[in-house]
Amino acid sequence: MLSTLIVVLPVFALIFAGWLARRIGVLGPHATTELNRFVVYLALPALLFDIIAHARWADVWQPGFVAAFGLGSGLVFALTVAVRLRRPRHLADAAIDGLNAGYANTGFIGFPLALVALGREAMAPTLVATIITVCVIFAGAIVLIEVGLQTEKRRSHLVLKVGRSLVRNPLLVAPVLGAVVPLCGLEIPAPVENFLKLLGGAASPCALVALGLFLADRREHTEPNAGPVALLVGFKLVVQPVVTWVLATAVFGLPPLLTHTAVLLAALPTGTGPFMLAEFYRREAGITARVVLVSTIISVLTISGYLAFAM
């Protein structure tokens, strides 16, 4: 448990830093939105481009692991969207809820935790899981959000409007451009490399500070959210790792290292991606903020329990 707590402690510290800065007035009421826009338009696209541009085919091509972790995330995402739509809930909000349940914090917590628990052999599959999470699952949610926000009734016009919105979205354009680098055998110049590392490295810390800023604002609650938060945290910390474990062992027969890596990463708390999208698209972010915070706190116990049981 101590090793897990040490890994997630910086997450709590960054959230608290944002909360404290807002409460004592160092940052104003518009800081959350502006900091989040910095992440969405600059820092996160740089990070996504950098991840994809440096992905090596030998590391990425692990079909069994890709299938187990990808299907686990995708199934939980789809199940959550379906459950939330029955409420009924707007498609854009249901898509963000799907991310709350299926978007593991592989980038900020996954790498250090996998290194401590499983060793350097787990780094390559952790990269694969990160690509699946921040590109594939994230992109699917953005598509659903864009579809949900369009008011066009004619299907051809709807497809055109959604397509235009997606082409202009930096979170989708960046990984596509990044894929050109390895596919064409290109090399990134050193100055550009340093630029991407500096800018991309700000994505997760700034998103966590923005989350703290949001939590510090006093607001009227328009609906009770304890039930939805509990549902989404349960899906994230229990359902996703269980589904992933079944897929890894019973369906794809992965070796122990890949099985433990897939399940451990699936058991990670919710990352900041859903919160960034909720703020960016001006959706109600209260549930999302609390899912990120609560899942991170509870995951200290659930992940420690899994490591004690499985290792």
Distance, in Å, from the CA atom of 49 to the CA atom of 279, rounded to the nearest integer, reads: 22
Span 272-287, mean pLDDT? 87
Domain boundaries, position 209? 2-216+225-310
> 64: domain CATH number?
1.20.1530
Token readout for 175 is 């990984």
- Give the 3-state secondary structure of residue 104: strand
Q: Which of 6, 20, 24, 42 is nearest to 276 (CA)?
A: 42
Percent of the chain with pLDDT over 70: 93
Q: Which of 167, 181, 142 is nearest to 51 (CA)?
A: 181
Residue 265 has a pLDDT of 95
Region of 119 please: left (phi>0), alpha (psi -120 to 50) or beta.
left
Span 171-175, mean pLDDT? 85
User: With 60 as the cut, is the pLDDT of residue 250 above it?
Assistant: yes
pLDDT bucket at 163, cuts 50 / 70 / 90: confident
Residue pLDDT, tens place only, 191-245: 999 999 999 889 888 988 988 898 887 665 555 578 899 999 999 999 999 999 9
Per the structure, how many domains does the chain have?
Answer: 1
Distance, in Å, from the CA atom of 248 to the CA atom of 234, rounded to the nearest integer, reads: 20
Distance, in Å, from the CA atom of 162 to the CA atom of 160, rounded to the nearest integer, reads: 6
Q: What is the mean pLDDT of the chain?
A: 87
More confident residue, 76 or 211: 76
Q: What is the pTM of this model?
A: 0.83
